[in-house]
Structure 1
Amino acid sequence: MSVRERVTAARERATDGDETALGQGLTLLAGAIAAAVVLPLGWLVVDAFGLGSRALELLVAGQTIRVLLRSVALVGVVTAASVLIGVPLAVLTVQGDLPFSRFWTVVVALPLAVPSYLGAFAAVSAFGPRGQLANILAPLGIEQVPTVYGFVGASVVLTLYTYPYVFLTTRASLLSLDASLVEAARTLNAGRWEAFRRVTLPQILPGIAAGALLVALYTLSDFGTPNIMRVEVFTQFIYARYNGFMRDYAALLSLQLFAVTAVILAIESRVGADDSGAYASGGDRGAFDLDLGLWRYPAAILPAAVGLVAILLPVGIFGVWFLRSGPGYATGSMAFSWSYGWNSVYVALLAAGGSVLVALPIALRSAASSSRLASLADRAPYVGYATPGIVLAIALVSFSLDVLPALYRTIPLLVFAYVVRFMPQAIGSIRTSALQVDSRFVEAARVLGRSPLGAFRSVTLPLVLPGIATGAALVFLTTMKELPATLILRPLRFDTLVTYIWRVQEAGLYGAAAVPALVLVVVSGLSMAVILAQGSGPGADT
């Protein structure tokens, strides 16, 4: 037998052994993990059954329908407004010849680093009845300003802090756009708008739909912003019933909210899967240059205005709170302690580490196998990601009280909720890195006598480390900002930055929130800077 034949035979034995032993074991492990993280959500059904025949009556009650319609309307308005802002900003920063385009790219992406409830907090402080604007206008004889509360105020705030989802996904689509197709349309006497409508838009539509889905899911699940802006939506409605010791009713409403989430996912899958406008071409990839001419400087007003309102306003308000805060703002149980910051970091690190450990086998198996079980194990955890935080929290409360009372309101249960909620972020980044690993490297290690585990440790693991680090950073960031699950599941007398901010907000002690709010913004901003610095991110060269 020749050397080549021996190498080929060894490679086949290594591959077959991996598939029949380690591969199948990894598939079963991935499936078991996926089932474990999704199982507690089923306890909502158990609780809802406790209502018996009253369930249907409660679901169709007038107040329930009104809150449902208001929640759906808020999702529709915020999603549409985010598309109207995010898509033009993506086109301007990618295709347009804006001055300092890289700077504006960072500016318009940064609002994603500010939790929306902090934006709402700042908006009320600036434009509320006793806010900074009212204080400035009072000496001029203007005693009343238009109210910032209500549906419109909530829509504006949510749009300002969710449109970056659409901006980032649309930008990614534009960066991979085949410029030769746009140029061909222009040579056929198609105007700029017609070329965009007939060529560019169909190709970037899946990216727009992906960003719109994230906006819709965030808006539907948001708890803090509607509460601060005094708009009763489903999350507040559920929280009120839960606090009123109506656990079965809260579970029923949670299932209804989950059903709305499923409808949103179904709509996005129909739009995102429509590739009728996607063109396969071997032409050059890259954005088509859009010459704005004399409009390049006026066009910069749009990103500047968005950055001013979404970033400088809240940071400025927090700065004013910090400068004006005194002993009256921080007394008794409302006094700020740096232990709250450590608690936030502690649970966020546990969540990041746990998410990576759980996501690693799922992502690796999904990248290596196309079997149905591997695919199911990969997609099942996204149920947790799509589940509103308050729904997941109530499901875990029910599960812990009925099955494992010792876990009720403990750190392990809180961290488990974070893992269920944010693990898909780690799965996505690890799988992306795993797909880029050349299987020939692994095969070579096996031919040289390495065991499957040894080949993974010496070859695969170093190559997927960037994806692991990115996934851990994403989970850490989102855990630091998570509000409803933390409020419901945290142990007694265990405060984090977000729960402390929530307590002082409810007490009207705005100055006491200055330091934790600024800390959250800085931590989030640094995390976003790391993400934007990646070559494939929004900060990449266009």
Structure 2
Amino acid sequence: MVPERTELVDSAIPATLRQRSRASKGRVSAWVVGLSVLVSLLALLPLAFVIGVSVQTGWATIEALVFRPRVAELLVNTVLLVVITIPLCIALGVALAWLTERSDLPGRRLWSLLAVAPLAVPAFVHSYAWVSLVPPIHGLFAGVLVSVIAYFPFLYLPVSATLRRLDPAIEDVAESLGLKPWAVFFRVVVPQLRLAICGGALLVGLHLLAEYGLYAMIRFDTFTTAIFDQFKSTFNGPAANMLAGVLALCCLLMLTFESACRGNARYARVGSGSPRLQRMVRLSRKVKALALPLPIITSVLALGVPLITLGNWLIAGGVEVWGQSDVLPALKQTLLLASAGAIITTCAAIPVAWLSIRSPGRLHRILESCNYITSSLPGIVVALALVTITINFARPIYQTTLTVLLAYLLMFLPRALVSLRAGIAQAPVELENMARSLGRSPSRALWLITMRLAAPGAAAGAALVFLAITNELTATLLLAPNGTRTLATGFWAMTSEIDYAAAAPYALLMILLSLPLTGLLYHQSKRTAGR
């Protein structure tokens, strides 16, 4: 019956319309593939730069620049930072997620919101607050402390969202087999959190490798701070480039390690099952007394310290700090760069996202993967690549706004791509095909039908890119034209002069611009879990 119905429906469509639809599909695929290839080739520029510089430098120079005590010191610092910080973030994120999602902890809704709120505070603002509060703070301990309170929400968000979606029946079966509650948690619940933990840990690790402002302010040397100092002080291309190559290698090793830890296990069940509320563990008074200090102390360290310190500096500076001639221009330039970067990046992500959903072949998956690999490289590597390439091959755009926007495109395209993929996946392909069969051109069908339905996803992706650009520091410092000042670079200029009161307005404006994204992430995680 089904084949006959298909033949009847197909015969009811005029042959000319079917031919026109197939021809339109071929044309739209050709130009979409062409644009996707162009975007992916651009995304590969930083990685090609690292490989090309290594080959051009030669093994003798590489050995002299890489195998030296200073690089070994930077490697030890970076490895210790990653090895200590990531487990602490995992422990804190999982503990807070379990307390706010699976227990009757008093005020758990409030603690859930406060656990996400630190994302609104840029990492280098956290560092600024702690240096202001405790001036002698520096070194590995300071780096781990500030990193944990700045980045643990990257673990809390995915873990808490996963806990809301887990099937309680699996835990019931485990308990019926005689397992105690702690055994159920570690043997049943934690394995189902593997993907969330691995994904969050990868995000934290990549931020640790890429961050500059946080560690420069507390005087803790990492590869990123050394590369930036090397480039700005002596403009030593080979030394900075070799350090960038080592840093890129660390990022790729981290990606490989995360993929191996993630494994190939399945985490879905067959059948929709029966909807049930998650089980809430009733904590005794003694356990509540022991557990409640954890979210309180975390909120005080992650939010209280930066906000109180910021408030004190604003009060100390008085009205005069808002009268600085650069604050309003910095806000305007930030809004212009962030708006332009968000629009360009979102538009560039459209062909890649469309192909990944409408034609998920091997080539198209490779094109999409190119963008994710490149975005995992630190901003300092992307900036150095563009500096070298523009000086040697495109001198007219060296240190122009165009180069800055290109850096934003390379670094933040996956943020728009992920949201666009979700939006396009929810737009029925039949509507797009019908528009083509009725005479609409491929581009008009894509724009009028698919992109209208995918508009919420595109807007979410653009918002993510906008706020990432708002807080971006390293690439903007290296690539921006002379006279350009964003909120991040203005803040950095004031803190470099130890004028913390003058830096406070820039920090406050960055936090205010970041708050909407924090609220969006929080409510999106709730909605995704069906709550």
Cα distance, 1:157 vs structure 2: 0.3
Cα distance, 1:472 vs structure 2: 0.3
Q: Tell me, yes or no, if structure 1 residue 71 matches structure 2 residue 78.
A: yes
The match for 2:301 is: 309
The match for 1:207 is: 196
In the alignment, is the contact (CA less than 8 A) between 1:47 and 1:398 conserved in 2?
no
The match for 1:226 is: 215
Q: Tell me, yes or no, if structure 1 residue 35 matches structure 2 residue 24.
A: no
- Taking the aligned partners of 2:300 and 2:104, their CA distance within structure 1 comes to 21
Q: Residue 97 of structure 2 is aligned with which of 87, 90, 101?
A: 90
Q: Tell me, yes or no, if structure 1 residue 128 matches structure 2 residue 135.
A: yes
Cα distance, 1:300 vs structure 2: 3.7
Deviation larger for 465-474 or 234-243: 234-243
The match for 1:337 is: 327
In the alignment, is the contact (CA less than 8 A) between 1:106 and 1:538 conserved in 2?
no
Cα distance, 1:312 vs structure 2: 2.0
In the alignment, is the contact (CA less than 8 A) between 1:106 and 1:539 conserved in 2?
no
The match for 1:349 is: 339
The match for 2:62 is: 55
Cα distance, 1:435 vs structure 2: 1.5
Letter in 1 for 2:197: I
Structure 1 counterpart SS, 2:103: coil
Distance 1:13 1:110, change over 3 A: farther
Q: Tell me, yes or no, if structure 1 residue 103 matches structure 2 residue 93.
A: no
Structure 1 counterpart SS, 2:284: helix
The match for 2:481 is: 491
Letter in 2 for 1:78: T
Letter in 2 for 1:272: R
Q: Tell me, yes or no, if structure 1 residue 323 matches structure 2 residue 297.
A: no
**TM-score scaled by length of structure 1:** 0.90
- Taking the aligned partners of 1:123 and 1:375, their CA distance within structure 2 comes to 43
Letter in 1 for 2:77: R
Q: Residue 512 of structure 2 is aligned with which of 490, 515, 522?
A: 522
Distance 1:400 1:293, change over 3 A: same
- Taking the aligned partners of 2:271 and 2:492, their CA distance within structure 1 comes to 52
Letter in 2 for 1:184: V
Structure 2 counterpart SS, 1:387: coil
Residues 179-194 of structure 1: pairs in structure 2 closer than 5 A: 179-194=168-183
Cα distance, 1:7 vs structure 2: 4.4
Structure 2 counterpart SS, 1:533: helix
Q: Tell me, yes or no, if structure 1 residue 160 matches structure 2 residue 186.
A: no
Cα distance, 1:527 vs structure 2: 2.2
Distance 1:95 1:47, change over 3 A: same
Distance 1:26 1:217, change over 3 A: same
Cα distance, 1:202 vs structure 2: 1.4
Cα distance, 1:128 vs structure 2: 2.0
In the alignment, is the contact (CA less than 8 A) between 1:430 and 1:468 conserved in 2?
yes
The match for 1:500 is: 490
Name structure 1 gaps, 5 residues minimum: 130-147
Cα distance, 1:219 vs structure 2: 0.5
Distance 1:408 1:457, change over 3 A: closer
Cα distance, 1:273 vs structure 2: 3.2
In the alignment, is the contact (CA less than 8 A) between 1:329 and 1:509 conserved in 2?
no
Q: Residue 115 of structure 1 is aligned with which of 105, 114, 122?
A: 122
Number of aligned residue pairs: give it. 521
Q: Residue 476 of structure 1 is aligned with which of 452, 460, 466?
A: 466
Distance 1:126 1:345, change over 3 A: same
Cα distance, 1:290 vs structure 2: 2.8
Distance 1:395 1:537, change over 3 A: farther
Structure 2 counterpart SS, 1:492: coil
| RMSD, aligned α-carbons | 2.5
Letter in 1 for 2:502: A
Q: Residue 386 of structure 1 is aligned with which of 364, 376, 382?
A: 376
- Taking the aligned partners of 2:428 and 2:528, their CA distance within structure 1 comes to 27
The match for 1:5 is: 10
Cα distance, 1:172 vs structure 2: 2.4
- Taking the aligned partners of 2:320 and 2:66, their CA distance within structure 1 comes to 46
**TM-score scaled by length of structure 2:** 0.92
Distance 1:277 1:326, change over 3 A: closer
Cα distance, 1:539 vs structure 2: 9.0
Quick one: percent identity of the two aligned structures?
A: 28
- Taking the aligned partners of 1:430 and 1:356, their CA distance within structure 2 comes to 8
In the alignment, is the contact (CA less than 8 A) between 2:139 and 2:219 conserved in 1?
yes
Cα distance, 1:176 vs structure 2: 2.4
